[in-house]
C-alpha cells in the first residue's frame, strides 16, 4: 500500500497508524482527493465531488488533476515529495483551506499525493486570521522600532518650558511647523533649546514614526562632511570600507534630518545640499548611482544668516530653501519671567531618583540679575552645581546660588546678597504677575480647559493647579 510519509525517513509512521488516521482525516475534512505519480486523479470522495460541482466521481478518474482543478498544486507535491500543510486554494468563487501530503511506496519512492479540504468556509478562521494580522503588525512595528533604535526623539513640546508670551509664541510656531511638510529654520543663541524644539516638531509631525537624525555641522571636520551627509560607496578612496556606508540622508529616510549649526557649513557643500533638498536624491561618495530619499529637513543656527548671505558666505538660494518657516527662540535674558518654571523643571530632572529640592523666590530673583550668555544650558549647569554642593539641603537659597554664579559675569547692576534681598520683593511681584498673566492667557486660549492650558504652558497639571490656586 502507499503511505503519506516515507517510514524510512525518520518519521516512524506505521502502516497501522496510517490506516487509522486516513479515514479520520477524510471524515473530518470537507473533501479529499488523491493523484498518482503522473498527477492523474486516482480517487476522489463524494464530498469533494459535490464541492467541485461534479455529478459523477468516476468521470474524473484518470484525468490530469489540473484539467479538473485549475492551478492545483498537487503536481508540485508529487514532484518535490514535500507536503504543503496549509494553503488557501481558490476554486471559482470559493476559498478552500487545503493540506496536501505526498504518498510513498514500499521502496520509499513518491507514488502520488493526497489532499484534504480542511475548511470550505473561511468564516470560522476569522478570529485566527485577525489575531495573526495583529501579531504581524506588532512584529513589523517592533522591527521598525529596532531599526530606528538610537534614531528616535527624547523630547516633547512640553519639555520646552515657559509661560511668557515669547515662549508661548515659540510653541505656537512649533505646532504650526509640525502640521506642515515644510523646511523650518530655528534661530537662537547657543543653549536656548533648538534641539529640544526640533525633536518636538518631529514628534508632533506625520513623520513621528520615522527616524530623527541630527548632525552638528560645527562638530564634523570639513573633509568628512560630504561622506557624513551622502554616504560612501565601497572602496571610494584608499582605506575606505569594502562595504557601502550610509550617510545621514539615507539614515533619515522616511523621517527628519536636523542640521544643527547650519551656518557653519562650508560653501562647497552648500551647493550639494541644495541639490539634495530640491531633487530628494543623493549620490554617495565614489558612486555613479543616485539614491532617492524622502527626508524632511529642519535646520538651526546661532549665526546671523542674513548677514552671511549679504557677505557671500552663505548661498542665498539655500537660505531661502531652508527658511520657509522661521522660528526665533529668544535668549533667556529676554524671558526672565520663565525663570521660576525653568528652575522647577530643571531641578525635577536633576534630582530624578533623589530627594526633591526646591529653590526660593529670593534665589530666583538673584538668577534674574544675571545675563545668561549660555542660556538654559548654563542655567542647568548652575543649578546642578548648587545642588551638588548642597546635597543635604532641601532648599536652594540665595547664599547657595550666589556661591556658584560667575561673579565676573554678573550685570553691572547686580550687587551683594544683602542688596538683592532688599530688592527681591518687587521683582518677585513682577515675576508673580507675569506668571498669573500667562496662566490667564493659556486658560483663555484653551477655552477654560485646564489640562490643555497646562500643556500650552509646558507644565504638568498638578503644577498648573498649584500655581492657579496660588494666583486665585
Q: Are residues 48 and 166 both part of a single domain?
A: no
CATH code (residue 66)? 3.30.450.20
Q: Are residues 84 and 28 both part of a single domain?
A: yes
Model confidence over 6-19: pLDDT tens digits? 444 444 444 565 66
| Residue 458 domain boundaries | 333-471
- What φ, ψ does residue 264 adopt, rounded to 5°? -90, 5
Q: Are residues 404 and 318 both part of a single domain?
A: no
Q: Is the dihedral of CA 370, 374, 380, 386 positive or negative?
A: negative
In 3D space, the residue among 250, 270, 274, 257 whose CA is nearest the CA of residue 215 turns out to be 257
Q: Are residues 314 and 213 both part of a single domain?
A: yes
Return d(Cα 227, Cα 241) in angstroms, integer.
12
> Is 320 a domain residue?
yes
The CA distances from residue 208 to 148, 203, 276, in Å, are 11, 5, 22
How many angstroms from the chain centroid is the CA of residue 374?
A: 30
The CA distances from residue 338 to 328, 366, 421, in Å, are 17, 14, 20
Look at residue 229 in the predicted model and tell me its pLDDT: 86
Look at residue 147 in the predicted model and tell me its pLDDT: 46
In 3D space, the residue among 194, 200, 192, 201 whose CA is nearest the CA of residue 155 turns out to be 200
Tell me if 394 sits within 8 A of 358, measured CB to CB: yes
Cell numbers at 446, concatenated: 484653551
Q: Are residues 263 and 316 both part of a single domain?
A: yes
> Is 130 a domain residue?
no
> Is 43 a domain residue?
yes
- Model-wide pTM > 0.85: no
Q: Are residues 323 and 346 both part of a single domain?
A: no
Model confidence over 162-191: pLDDT tens digits? 888 899 999 999 999 999 999 999 999 999
Final residue in a domain of this structure, among 286, 303, 330: 330
Strand 395-396, strand 358-359: pairing: parallel
Final residue in a domain of this structure, among 330, 364, 380: 330
CATH code (residue 267)? 3.40.50.300
Summarize the confidence of residues 293-299 as an average pLDDT: 94
> Is 256 a domain residue?
yes
Q: Are residues 179 and 109 both part of a single domain?
A: no
Q: Are residues 311 and 345 both part of a single domain?
A: no
Look at residue 174 in the predicted model and tell me its pLDDT: 94
State yes or no: pLDDT of 404 exceeds 60: yes
> Is 288 a domain residue?
yes
pLDDT band at 331; cut points 50, 70, 90? very high
> Is 148 a domain residue?
no
Number of structural domains found in the chain? 3
CATH code (residue 372)? 1.10.8.60
State yes or no: pLDDT of 302 exceeds 70: yes
Q: Are residues 287 and 363 both part of a single domain?
A: no
**Top-confidence range, 97-106, 112-121, 337-346, 373-382:** 373-382
Place of cell 557643500: 269
Final residue in a domain of this structure, among 285, 313, 330: 330
Q: Are residues 382 and 460 both part of a single domain?
A: yes
Higher-confidence position of 62 and 394: 62
Return d(Cα 203, Cα 178) in angstroms, integer.
8
The CA distances from residue 160 to 156, 174, 211, 345, 371, in Å, are 8, 10, 21, 10, 20
State yes or no: pLDDT of 413 exceeds 70: no
State yes or no: pLDDT of 409 exceeds 70: no
Look at residue 297 in the predicted model and tell me its pLDDT: 94
Return d(Cα 99, Cα 439) in angstroms, integer.
68
Tell me if 292 sits within 8 A of 250, measured CB to CB: no
Tell me if 376 sits within 8 A of 195, measured CB to CB: no
Q: Say how many residues make up the chain.
A: 472
Strand 212-216, strand 32-36: pairing: unpaired
> Is 99 a domain residue?
yes
State yes or no: pLDDT of 132 exceeds 90: no
Return d(Cα 402, Cα 380) in angstroms, integer.
15
Q: Are residues 356 and 318 both part of a single domain?
A: no
Q: Are residues 187 and 280 both part of a single domain?
A: yes
Amino acid at each position: 500500500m502507499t503511505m503519506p510519509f516515507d517510514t524510512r525517513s525518520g518519521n516512524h509512521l506505521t502502516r497501522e497508524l496510517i490506516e487509522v488516521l486516513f479515514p479520520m482525516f477524510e471524515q473530518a475534512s470537507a473533501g479529499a482527493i488523491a493523484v498518482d505519480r503522473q498527477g492523474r486523479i486516482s480517487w476522489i470522495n463524494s464530498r469533494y465531488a459535490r464541492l467541485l460541482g461534479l455529478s459523477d466521481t468516476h468521470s474524473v478518474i484518470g484525468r490530469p488533476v489540473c484539467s479538473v482543478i485549475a492551478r492545483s498544486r498537487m503536481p508540485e507535491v508529487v514532484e518535490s515529495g514535500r507536503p504543503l500543510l496549509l494553503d488557501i486554494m481558490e476554486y471559482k468563487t470559493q476559498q478552500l483551506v487545503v493540506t496536501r501530503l505526498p504518498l510513498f511506496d514500499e521502496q520509499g519512492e513518491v507514488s502520488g499525493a493526497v489532499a484534504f479540504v480542511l475548511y470550505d468556509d473561511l468564516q470560522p478562521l476569522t478570529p485566527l486570521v485577525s489575531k495573526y494580522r495583529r501579531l504581524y503588525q506588532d512584529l513589523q512595528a517592533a522591527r521598525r522600532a529596532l531599526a530606528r533604535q538610537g534614531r528616535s526623539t527624547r523630547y516633547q513640546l512640553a519639555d520646552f518650558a515657559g509661560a511668557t508670551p515669547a515662549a508661548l509664541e515659540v510653541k505656537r510656531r512649533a505646532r504650526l511647523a509640525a502640521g506642515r511638510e515644510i523646511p523650518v529654520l530655528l534661530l537662537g543663541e547657543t543653549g536656548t533649546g533648538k534641539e529640544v524644539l526640533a525633536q518636538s516638531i518631529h514628534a508632533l509631525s506625520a513623520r513621528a514614526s520615522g527616524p530623527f537624525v541630527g548632525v552638528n555641522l560645527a562638530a564634523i571636520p570639513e573633509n568628512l562632511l560630504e561622506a557624513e551627509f551622502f554616504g560612501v560607496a565601497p572602496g571610494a578612496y584608499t582605506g575606505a570600507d569594502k562595504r557601502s556606508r550610509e550617510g545621514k540622508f539615507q539614515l533619515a529616510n522616511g523621517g527628519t534630518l536636523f542640521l544643527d549649526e547650519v551656518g557653519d557649513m562650508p560653501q562647497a557643500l552648500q551647493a550639494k545640499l541644495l541639490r539634495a533638498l530640491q531633487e530628494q536624491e543623493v549620490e554617495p561618495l565614489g558612486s555613479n548611482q543616485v539614491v532617492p530619499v524622502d527626508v524632511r529637513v529642519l535646520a538651526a543656527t546661532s549665526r546671523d544668516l542674513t548677514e552671511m548671505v549679504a557677505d557671500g558666505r552663505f548661498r542665498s538660494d539655500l537660505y531661502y530653501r531652508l527658511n520657509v518657516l522661521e522660528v526665533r527662540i529668544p535668549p533667556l535674558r529676554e524671558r526672565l519671567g520663565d525663570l521660576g518654571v525653568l528652575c522647577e523643571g530643571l531641578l525635577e530632572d536633576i534630582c530624578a531618583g533623589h530627594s526633591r529640592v526646591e529653590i526660593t523666590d529670593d534665589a530666583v530673583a538673584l538668577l534674574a540679575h544675571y545675563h545668561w550668555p549660555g542660556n538654559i544650558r548654563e542655567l542647568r549647569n548652575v543649578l546642578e552645581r548648587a545642588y551638588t554642593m548642597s546635597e543635604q539641603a532641601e532648599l536652594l537659597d540665595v547664599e547657595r546660588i550666589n556661591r556658584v554664579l560667575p561673579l565676573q559675569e554678573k550685570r553691572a547692576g547686580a550687587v551683594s546678597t544683602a542688596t538683592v534681598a532688599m530688592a527681591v520683593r518687587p521683582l518677585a511681584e513682577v515675576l508673580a504677575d507675569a506668571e498669573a498673566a500667562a496662566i490667564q492667557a493659556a486658560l483663555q486660549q484653551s477655552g477654560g480647559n485646564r489640562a490643555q492650558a497646562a500643556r500650552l504652558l509646558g507644565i504638568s497639571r498638578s503644577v498648573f493647579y498649584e500655581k492657579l490656586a496660588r494666583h486665585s
